[in-house]
């Protein structure tokens, strides 16, 4: 949701009228919606309007059947009410939207909110070579040699989402001028994106990171950061879905303590009586919170390192803030992201798990010591930060791509 909302927000700031459309249940659960002239919200039924698990049988087929009819009705109704839809942008689980738009003679674009590296892997596996040898390596142009385990799991034949991405490729082939919007910027992944045949019009429109802060109402964690020295604090967060088990929490905590640096750690479901919480309060120069504004935290001068699962949103937020990372990947595209960040862009160190799959306190301490003390990593972070900021300002690559998109859709 976050990168899509940020894309909608950027388009309205460029003068477009944007309607953000999601499922009925999705809109109900969407908190803190951006609100300003030009941006409105609507929804469509997906057969799961009351909520519940998304892994029930035939959910995506059901959403296509129910959603395509209601989305078509929504577009037609807006046209009748003098709100003609001139362009449709659709997300990663909705390949059927392109057909709905085509039936109504409305141009569309696929919004791929992951990295350019993930898009390259998707294209070359599903379009060129869909026979993946689990025991071998995968060669993708302009990328390091990939192991089977480094391929985003949603692209593997055994994953239930793989057919959806295959549908995306088939859908794009039917378009006369297939367009893909991608949450990256030319200074980071232009060479990768250019390795995809130019029949696809791929536009970098990122990094899609919120630039809104709330300095007038500083939360207590920001006040805590204010009391720390520049680039002295380690920020730890694993996103909305990744959770560490009890043993891994303890290893992380001890590694943070032994590193000697103050730390801010987001644990969404912590309880006051948790052993880790008690130890943190009693023994360390650390602060544990259930939630924080990640963009605000990463842009704070006190942050010197980000321990992250390396979801693409977190990577882009770290890049545009100039903060080096310790990569702690678990699933999806995170392992590929870590590989690119460490081996290609050089602004991260990967935490290596032991034979049992756990990252020990000694390994955590090693990574933190490297990142907090390596001047070359810090220098690369500053270069990437500058490139990311340049992409989003007037005349920058991502800003220009969005303006061209609007001009061509009128």
Q: What are phi and psi of 149, to 5 degrees?
A: -70, -15
Q: Average pLDDT over the chain, rounded to whole?
A: 86
Write down the pLDDT at residue 90: 93
Q: What are phi and psi of 349, to 5 degrees?
A: -125, 135
| Span of 47-51, 89-93, 196-200, 391-395 with lowest mean pLDDT | 47-51
Task: Indicate whether 130 pLDDT > 60.
Answer: no
Instruction: Calculate mean pLDDT across residues 288-311.
Output: 93
Long-range CB contact pairs, 32-37, < 8 A, 24+:
33/5, 34/5, 34/8, 34/9, 36/9, 36/12, 37/12
Write down the pLDDT at residue 136: 74
* 71-117 confidence digits (pLDDT tens): 899 899 988 888 889 999 998 888 999 999 999 999 999 999 999 99
Task: Indicate whether 216 pLDDT > 50.
Answer: no
Q: Is 405 exposed, middle or buried (0-12, 13-18, 19+ CB in 10 A)?
A: buried
Write down the pLDDT at residue 399: 94
Higher confidence at residue 138 or residue 104? 104
Contact 334, 259 (CB under 8 A): no
Instruction: Calculate mean pLDDT across residues 158-171.
Output: 85
Instruction: Calculate mean pLDDT across residues 153-178.
Output: 85
Write down the pLDDT at residue 226: 93
Contact 231, 303 (CB under 8 A): yes
Instruction: Calculate mean pLDDT across residues 235-245.
Output: 82
Write down the pLDDT at residue 177: 81
Higher confidence at residue 228 or residue 407? 228
Share of the chain above pLDDT 90, in %: 46
* 26-83 confidence digits (pLDDT tens): 888 777 777 888 899 988 877 666 665 555 667 778 778 888 888 899 899 988 888 8
Write down the pLDDT at residue 279: 63
Q: Of 64, 116, 65, 115, which Cα lies nearest the Cα of 90?
A: 64
Task: Indicate whether 361 pLDDT > 90.
Answer: yes
Q: Of 3, 21, 165, 28, which Cα lies nearest the Cα of 87?
A: 21
Position 212 confidence tier, pLDDT thresholds 50, 70, 90: low
Instruction: Calculate mean pLDDT across residues 310-327.
Output: 95
Q: Which domains does the chain have, with CATH numbers?
A: 2-210+391-409 (3.40.50.2000), 215-388 (3.40.50.2000)
- The whole-angstrom separation of Cα 285 and Cα 279 is 11
Beta bridge partners of 89: 109
- The whole-angstrom separation of Cα 99 and Cα 172 is 10
Task: For residue 303, give both structure tokens.
Answer: 């942050």
Share in percent of the chain as helix, strand, coil (round to 5):
45, 15, 40
Position 215 confidence tier, pLDDT thresholds 50, 70, 90: very low
* 250-294 confidence digits (pLDDT tens): 899 999 999 999 999 998 776 655 666 666 655 668 898 888 889
> Coil, strand or helix: which one is 250?
helix
Position 377 confidence tier, pLDDT thresholds 50, 70, 90: very high
Instruction: Calculate mean pLDDT across residues 342-348.
Output: 92
């Amino acid at each position: 949701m976050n990168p899509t909302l940020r894309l909608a927000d950027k388009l309205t700031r460029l003068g477009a009228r944007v309607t953000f459309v999601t499922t009925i249940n999705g809109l109900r659960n969407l908190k803190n919606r951006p609100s300003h002239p030009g941006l409105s919200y609507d929804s469509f039924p997906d057969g799961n309007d009351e909520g519940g698990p998304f892994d029930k049988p035939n959910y995506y087929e059901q959403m296509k059947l129910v959603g395509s009819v209601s989305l078509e009705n929504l577009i037609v109704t807006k046209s009748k009410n003098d709100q003609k839809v001139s362009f449709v942008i659709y997300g990663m689980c909705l390949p059927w939207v392109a057909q709905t738009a085509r039936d109504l003679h409305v141009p569309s674009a696929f919004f791929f909110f992951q990295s350019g590296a993930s898009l390259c892997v998707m294209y070359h596996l599903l379009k060129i070579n869909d026979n993946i040898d689990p025991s071998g390596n995968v060669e993708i142009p302009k990328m390091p040699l990939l192991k089977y385990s480094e391929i985003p799991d949603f692209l593997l034949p055994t994953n239930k989402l793989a057919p959806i991405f295959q549908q995306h490729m088939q859908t794009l082939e039917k378009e006369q001028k297939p367009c893909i919007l991608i949450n990256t910027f030319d200074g980071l992944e232009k060479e990768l994106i250019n390795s995809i045949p130019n029949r696809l019009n791929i536009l970098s429109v990122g990094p899609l990171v919120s630039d809104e802060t709330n300095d007038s109402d500083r939360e207590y964690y920001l006040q805590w950061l204010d009391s720390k020295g520049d680039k002295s604090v380690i920020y730890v967060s694993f996103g909305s879905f990744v959770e560490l088990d009890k043993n891994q929490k303890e290893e992380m905590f001890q590694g943070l303590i032994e590193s000697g640096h103050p730390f801010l750690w987001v644990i969404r479901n912590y309880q006051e009586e948790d052993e880790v919480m008690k130890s943190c309060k009693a023994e360390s120069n650390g602060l544990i919170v259930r939630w924080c504004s990640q963009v605000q935290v990463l842009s704070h001068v006190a942050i010197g390192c980000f321990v992250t699962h390396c979801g693409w949103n977190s990577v882009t937020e770290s890049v545009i803030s100039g903060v080096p990372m310790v990569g702690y990947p678990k699933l999806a595209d995170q392992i590929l992201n870590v590989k690119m960040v460490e081996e290609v862009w050089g602004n991260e160190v990967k935490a290596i798990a032991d034979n049992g799959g756990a990252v020990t306190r000694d390994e955590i301490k090693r990574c933190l010591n490297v990142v907090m003390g390596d001047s070359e990593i810090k220098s690369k972070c500053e270069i990437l930060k500058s490139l990311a900021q340049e992409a989003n300002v007037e005349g920058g690559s991502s800003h220009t791509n969005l303006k061209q998109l609007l001009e061509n859709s009128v």
